[in-house]
Amino acid sequence: MLQRRTLLGQAGATLTTALLATGHSWAAPSPARAEGLNPSPFGEHPLLQPLRGWSDGQDRLAEGLRVQGRWPRELRGTLYRNGPGLLGRGGLRYRHWFDGDGLVQAWQLGPEALRHTARFVQTRKFSAEQEAGEFLVPAFGTLVPARRPVRGSDDMNTANTSVTVQGGRLYALWEGGSAHELDPQTLRTLGPKTWAPELRGMPFSAHPKREADGTLWNFGTFLGRLALYQIDAQGRLLRSRVLSLPTAAMVHDFVVTQRHLVFLLPPLGLDLEAARAGASMVSAMRWRADEAMRVVVIDKATLELQHTLEAPAGLVFHFGNAWDDGQGTIRLDYVQSDMDEFLSGRFNAVLEGAMAAHGAPSQARFMTLDLRQGRVSIAARSESTEFPQVDPRVVAQRYRYVYAPTQRGLADRWGFNAVQRLDLERGHTEVFDFGPDTVVEEHLLVPKPGSRREGEGWLLGTGFDARRQRSFAAVFDAEALSAGPLATVWLPYWVPLGFHGHFQRSA
């Protein structure tokens, strides 16, 4: 277990609160900057409307939803999703998509009753700003003069990135601070989760990994350190540890194998002088192109750092899966993003109404780690993709299929409009194209009850139809993806675009 007095002297010390330690004064409002809150109205492009967010901060409920097609009788449960839902207050807007307050959705799905609930996570930040009617604390990509004390990362916690269910409890996740527990039926916020007294306020990432036996692994990074968590299927903390990393880096996701935890550390650091001068966090980041990406391999049995390897510089947000062959070789897949895109303001640009995607797309990579020889090899695919998922039964094991949104027939447009299944054994890709007027979000593989074969199940995900100005959930036979959705559930409104989800089967 961690020793609170030695490791939590900087309570809530995360990449976010590193800015607070630079000496930049957040105590009083600062003059307006180009990175400050945006007073201009949101653009009118039909495809971008869900990025506007719900500026009223109000929850939504819809029942008796319209179904197009036939819903599979065995598919019953709740699709939880999370993402930035509120991006404007008092006539001022955030400039970066990642800044918005968390909006958790519950799609209650089945052949008889269909219901959609969306509620904002009542974090300290959201509650205070909702009462004040204005933004009060700093954000990731927008300069916001602090009008209330910021003592740690949970004072800025947006709970806007992902959700998970562990031991029957639902959590909204944000990588810079505590998970927030929600009522799984009503989505009412129950408060920040403390896994152990000595872990209060520690970062708990938005990408935990669940193995087939229900064990949950997670991490958090802060000031060049890596916090590790192992949680059992009942939601009890089994082990935790803090390690020193070979370099400070932005780490969003990781993978587990039967024996290891694997992290990729891109050469992306924080320019403290820029932060002191008042830059937003994203603008204060610097890409060290002459440095390698570090590959950190940790032994699951001891939680000791076992290997550090080097690979060409690359920015990584999301992984699909990983496995080791028992002979010293690890294989994994991830999506590599364009560094210039991240730092040059793509996510700012879409909030300004710019539809065009600039630079290189995010693309799948397949990495092989030879731990005996200390070698790394990487193979690449060319199509644009993100948010990769695998069959949950094969997490940390050898796998064949990866599912992800992709682009089809879009020469220069932001967002995805198709979903694909990639067969790693045959190199074959099966795709369903929703058309140019749709924005496709993450899709999850839900195994059929009683099935054992990898990929035997349904692919379930969400999207936005710009012609109808409505959001939807679509379900596919995962083994016949190109045939199109078996059923589509339509909302009577659009929902702000989100990031990640979790499907919880009904008992």
Going by the annotation, the residues of the binding site for Fe cation are 207, 252, 318, 500
| Cβ partners under 8 Å of residue 271, min gap 6 | 279, 284, 285, 286
- Grouping H, G, I as helix, E, B as strand and the rest as coil, residue 46 is helix
Q: Which of 368, 231, 246 is nearest to 306 (CA)?
A: 246
Cβ neighbours of 276 (radius 10 Å) = 14
Strands, DSSP E only, in 288-358?
293-299, 305-311, 315-324, 329-337
What count of residues does the chain have?
507
| Cβ partners under 8 Å of residue 126, min gap 6 | 57, 86, 101, 102, 120, 158
Compute the distance between CA of residue 165 and CA of residue 84 in angstroms, rounded to an integer: 19
Compute the distance between CA of residue 88 and CA of residue 39 in angstroms, rounded to an integer: 9
Annotated binding site: 207, 252, 318, 500
Could you give the residue ranges of the DSSP H alpha helices within 229-353?
Answer: 272-276, 281-284, 339-344, 346-351
Compute the distance between CA of residue 20 and CA of residue 138 in angstroms, rounded to an integer: 10
Residue type for position 172? A
Residue where the block lists tokens 């790693």: 424
Distance of CA 281 to the CA centre of its chain: 18
Compute the distance between CA of residue 117 and CA of residue 125 in angstroms, rounded to an integer: 22
Q: Which of 377, 378, 399 is nearest to 388 (CA)?
A: 399
Hey, which residues does 84 pair with through a beta bridge? 102
CB 245 within 8 A of CB 226: yes
Cβ neighbours of 375 (radius 10 Å) = 13
Compute the distance between CA of residue 51 and CA of residue 350 in angstroms, rounded to an integer: 8
